[in-house]
Structures are given as C-alpha cells and as structure tokens.
Structure 1
Amino acid sequence: MTDITQISGTTRVYAIIADPIHHVQTPQAMNKLFSTLGQDRVLVPFHVSPADLAVVVTGLRGIQSLDGFIVTVPHKTAILELCDTVSDAARLVGAANVVTRSSDGKLHGEILDGDGFVTGLRQAGIELEGRAVYLAGAGGAANAIAFALAASGIGWLTIANRSQDKAQALVDRLSRAFPDLEVSVGTSDPSGYDLVVNGTSLGLKEGDALPCDVTRLSAEQVVAEIIMQPVITPLLAAAQKVGCRTHEGLPMLLCQIELMAAAMASKKNESRHECV
C-alpha cells in the first residue's frame, strides 16, 4: 500500500468518485500498484452525490496536482457531458469510467469497464466465442460490457432491463455496430443462456431486488457479477445453490488497474498503454 507518511507536495493525486463509496476496492489495489512501481502517486475515494457531481468536477479541473479520476456508479453516464473530449469507445458506449486531466484543466473521458470484464472472464477460462449471453442492465457499466461482449465473438446477446426503452435503445446501438450479432431485448428469465451477467448495481445494498429470476437458472450456466462488495452477492449465492459456476466482480477491477493507472498517468494523452 502507499505509505501515507511519504505523501508530499510533489505527490500526484488521483480520485475515485462514487455514490455510495464504501464498497470500492480500487484505492487499495491502485495504491498497492503505485507502491510496487515506486511511483509518487496516490488515489483517494470521493463520495459524491449525483446532485453535486457537476460542481465537484468543476473544482477538480482547478487542482493542479490532480492528474485524473475514476468514475463509478452512478456517475458513468453523466460524466460524459462534463468532459471536454471523450474516446470513440466512450462515445459509442455512452459512458466513461476514467477521466484524465491535462495541465490546463481539460478533461478527457475513456471507458475501460467492458474490456476489463471480458479479459477477466477469459483469464478465468470462461469461453465466449459463439456463446449465448444474458445481460441484466442497460446503464453505464452494462453498456460497456455489452459492447465488449459483442466484440469478443459471442453469438447471441439478450439485454434485460427494468426500463425496456433503455434496453431497446442499447439493442439498437449494438445492432448498428455489430450487424452480424443476434441481439434482442429480454425478460427477467435467464434460462437457456450459457452466460448470465449482472451488469446492474442490484446486490450492492442489502434488500436489493435480484437482477433476474434465479429460479430459472440451471447448473450448466455460468453466472457472473460486476459487484465487488459483497464478494458473494445474492445472485451468486442463488447460482451456487443451483450448481452454476460463478464469476465474482473483483477480476474485472484487477484487469483494469494497470490500464487505469497508465491512462491517468498520461494526463496529456501523450501515450497509451494496453492492459496486461
């Protein structure tokens, strides 16, 4: 971990913005990476409500020791309008989760969620080529995951969301970007899919509804989460009872850590690094 006794006026500062903030594990992982690399950088958590996001971001522009920040639930979509520029991927997805700050206070948004999620699955030996995937959610993280899954070579993708209009809008955008992919709006029924993914924040808070009808799960399915705390969400617990293979949310973060660090370190976008 970063030694806070060594933080000084020359330390480069980064933030992670969320609401709530208690569940995030990025600061621990990122600061451990900074320490391992011997870099004078530190990442700190900021608890920011949606109502305060715009004024906070305006303030961050003026902090000259700040090189960037990570954005998570529920701000990934709203942050786009607060950036000066965004990557093609972020524009396509409609969300950003990493914002770099240049020396003149300009902000550039990027999206890394989807690639992190897909890489985490592959590192766990979960096959994607030609598979049928059920994705619960149509928000910022779900959008990123949907586009990354589509690019990974899956054969069929169903989007299920409480707001069917949002699900349909995501399906329409996916269809335009990936015309050969079978993509449709689904219901709460996840049966018949090889991979079931929770791309929502449901399960983060005690008492949350389940993201799909878990009574329709079967043992041959893989059930994956994006939520990291609790480690075993109600969805994963229900899937384990059925005999499903489960995939926790942490690998998605671990894969993104080096890429996030590299993106924020390159505050002037002078170079780009790939996740290893």
Structure 2
Amino acid sequence: MAERVPVSGTTRLYAVLGDPVAQVKAPGLMNPLFDRLGLDAVLVPVHVAPENLAATVRGLSSVENLDGLLVTVPHKAAARALADTESTTVTVTGTANAMRRNADGGWHADNFDGSGFVRGLRLAGHRPEGRRVSLLGAGGAGSAIAAALLTAGVSRLAVHDPHASRLSALLARLERYWPGRSAATVPEALGDADIVVNATPLGMRAQDPLPLPLSALAPSCLVADIIMEPRETALLRAAARRGHQVHHGLHMLEQQVDSYREFFDLR
C-alpha cells in the first residue's frame, strides 16, 4: 500500500458536498487513489444545507487550491444550475455529481452516477440489454441512471417519483432522446419488471418505510439499491428474505472512480 502523502501547504483540495454527509463513501475511495498516484491531494466531506449551496459553491470558487467538487444528495439538480459549462450527460439528465475548474476559474459539470450504476450491474453479471426496468426516484442519481439504462439498451423504463413536476420533466427529457421507451409508473405496478432500482433516499435511516411493496414483484426480479450506507438496506434485506437477487449501492460509486480520475485529470 502506498504511504499516505501528508497534508501540507501544497495540498490540492477536493470536496464532496451533501446534506447529510455522514454516509458518503467517496473519501474512502478517492483518498487511497490519491495515495496510489502519489498525489498531494485530499477529498473531504462538506455538510451544506440546500439553502446554503449556492453561497458555498461561490465561496469555494475563491479557494485557489481547490480543484474539484463531488456532489451528493440532495444537491445534484441544484449543482447543475451553478455550473458554467456542462457535459451532454448533464444536459440530458438535468443533474450533476462532479464539477471541475475551467481554465477561466468557472465550473464544468458532469454526471457519472448512471454510467457507474450500469457498469456495476454488468460486472455483477446483470446485463440490462433488453430488460424491463422500473426505477423509483427521478432526482439527481435517478435521472442519471434512467439515461444510462436507456443508453445501455433496456427495452422499457418505467419511472416513479412522488414529485409530479420532477417526474414529468425527466420523462420529457428522456422522450427527446429515446422516444417511446420510458413512461411513468406506480410502485404497485411492478409485476413485469426484470430489474427494480431504488434511487430514492428511503433506506438511509432506520425508520424509513420501504420504497416499494415487494409483494408486487415477480420472483425473478433483481432488486437494486443505490444507497451506500447502510450497505444492507432494509429493502435489500427484505428482498433477499423473499428470494430475490439483490444489488448493493456501493457498486455504483466504485465504478465511478476511473471516471473521476479522467475527469479531474489525476495522474
């Protein structure tokens, strides 16, 4: 294992912005990457309430040794509006989970949640091509996962979100790029899904209800969660007890590390 590079006056800074941040796993993946590469850099969690996000990003823009930001719940849609330039993925999804400095000091936004999720599925032996997928959650990560699944070739994507305007906006964006392949659904109508994905925050807290009725699922349905802490969410535990294959949230983040390395030009 590479020796930890000590934090000093020459250290380059990266931050992961969220509310809360106790659950974030990115520092545990990115800081070892910095060490392996011998980089004088550190990623730290920064707890920012939604009403303070814009002021925080503006303030961080003046920190001259800060090179990049990662963005987690619930800031991914708001972060997109704070970027000066954006990737096509951000345009399609309406959300961002990574921001780097442009040459002029502004922010360039991208989103790797969806590609990370799909790569994680494939590495676990669950190929999405031709499958029917039901997605719960049209927020930051959910929108990115929706676009990535359609890119990967799912035959049908059904999306549910209790926020009607957020759901309709996502479906309208998806329709422009993949006409006729996505539609709204409700949690009770999941019986024909081959894969169901929880992209909501439900499951981060012990008192949260299950995001979907497991009794509605076919026995062969794969149940995936994108929550990383706890690793074994109540949904995944309950699904496993009913005999479903399950897919854990950490896979999505682990498969984004190479994308972050390229995005931030870490070498």
TM-score interval, normalised by the smaller of the two chains: over 0.9
Alignment of 1:69-88 (within 5 A): 69-88=69-88
- Whether the 8 Å contact between 1:218 and 1:242 is mirrored in structure 2 is no
What displacement does 1:218 show? 3.4
2:129 aligned partner: 129
2:251 aligned partner: 251
What displacement does 1:2 show? 8.4
- Whether the 8 Å contact between 1:119 and 1:252 is mirrored in structure 2 is yes
The reply on whether 1:42 has 2:42 as its aligned counterpart is yes
Provide Cα deviations, 1:183-223, integer angstroms capped at 9, x if missing partner: 21101122211000011111112212222112222321101
- Whether the 8 Å contact between 2:50 and 2:74 is mirrored in structure 1 is yes
In 1, distance between residues paired with 2:170 and 2:82?
22
Q: Which runs of 4+ in 1 moved over 3 A?
A: 1-5
**What code does the residue aligned with 1:188 have?**
P
TM-score of the superposed pair, with normalisation by structure 2 = 0.95
In 2, distance between residues paired with 1:46 and 1:165?
29
1:182 aligned partner: 181
- Whether the 8 Å contact between 1:67 and 1:102 is mirrored in structure 2 is no
The reply on whether 1:148 has 2:151 as its aligned counterpart is no
**What code does the residue aligned with 1:185 have?**
A
1:269 aligned partner: none
Provide Cα deviations, 1:143-183, integer angstroms capped at 9, x if missing partner: 0000000000110110011123322332222122112x532
Task: Give the aligned length.
Answer: 266
Runs (5+) with no aligned partner, structure 1? 267-272
1:270 aligned partner: none
Alignment of 1:1-276 (within 5 A): 6-102=6-102, 104-179=104-179, 181-189=180-188, 190-265=190-265
Q: Which deviates further from its counterpart, 184-193 or 119-128?
A: 184-193
What displacement does 1:262 show? 2.7
- Whether the 8 Å contact between 2:210 and 2:235 is mirrored in structure 1 is yes
TM-score of the superposed pair, with normalisation by structure 1 = 0.92
**What code does the residue aligned with 2:116 have?**
G
**What code does the residue aligned with 2:73 have?**
V
Provide Cα deviations, 1:108-128, integer angstroms capped at 9, x if missing partner: 111111000000000111021
In 1, distance between residues paired with 2:112 and 2:169?
21
In 2, distance between residues paired with 1:129 and 1:82?
34
**What code does the residue aligned with 1:37 have?**
L
* RMSD over equivalenced CA pairs, Å: 1.7
Runs (5+) with no aligned partner, structure 2? none
- Whether the 8 Å contact between 1:195 and 1:221 is mirrored in structure 2 is yes
In 2, distance between residues paired with 1:172 and 1:165?
11
